[in-house]
Amino acid sequence: MKVNAFKSKHLVVTPERLIFDKREVLFAEVTSVAYWMVNVKVNGVPTASQRFVELGDGQGKVKIPCLNAAVQSKASKQTTQSIFESIVHALGLYVEPRLCDEAIAQIRAQHPYSVKSVTVRPDGFAVGRALREEKVYPWSDLAGTAFREGSVHIFVHGAKKAVGTVPMQEPNAVLLPDILARLAQGQASEHQVR
């Protein structure tokens, strides 16, 4: 599937780049990606949903806010949601696969890859914990991942809850499910061949 180019007043996205206000980010130069949503409440009443996309490159970071306020019309909210989803889709096609491949190559070259409290290594992954030693898990322990409540949750066999969570606003947290799945699958394939 191909993402068509689209633009709004301050945003242009093509298969090669994103321009927000006057800042251009070439997808080939992106080193980190994050996207997340925050629900805003005033006196306990939901008033808005704020969605963000953040890209990092050699020049720094660009953060794109997509606001859905309670006072906006339904059509305006749908347009904002559509823009956010289109950006995320474009990143999924043109940026995330390359970043995942680069991370996996780094890990296979015996260089750990860390996102917040999770460190991915050739022999498995480790989850850091506040005031405690990090816990290391071999690939055979990985049961899966899930996006829940604004975080990536990592599950192992036999555990009743996630052993690690990384907020989606952390650079490259959205890559963890693919990186972990691909490396665990590769490890399982190696054991089947032996």
Is residue 134 located within the same domain as residue 162? yes
The model's pTM: 0.85
95-134 residue pLDDT tens: 999 999 999 999 999 999 999 999 999 999 999 976 678 8
Is 115 in contact with 175 (CB distance < 8 Å)?
yes
Per the structure, how many domains does the chain have?
2
- Whether residue 101 is contained in a domain is answered as no
> Is the same domain home to 64 and 31?
yes
Q: What's the chain's Rg over C-alpha atoms?
A: 19
Q: What is the CATH number of the domain that holds 146?
A: 2.30.29
Give me the domain span that covers residue 170.
111-193
Q: Indicate if 75 and 124 belong to the same structural domain.
A: no
State both tokens at 102: 């680069």
Quote the pLDDT of residue 7.
Answer: 46
Return the number of other C-beta atoms located less than 10 Å from residue 104's C-beta.
Answer: 18
User: In this predicted structure, which of 10-14, 64-68, 118-122, 143-147 has the lowest mean pLDDT?
Assistant: 64-68
> Is residue 85 domain-shared with residue 134, that is, in the same domain?
no
Looking at residue 113, its amino acid is Y
Confidence label for 80 from pLDDT (cuts 50, 70 and 90): confident
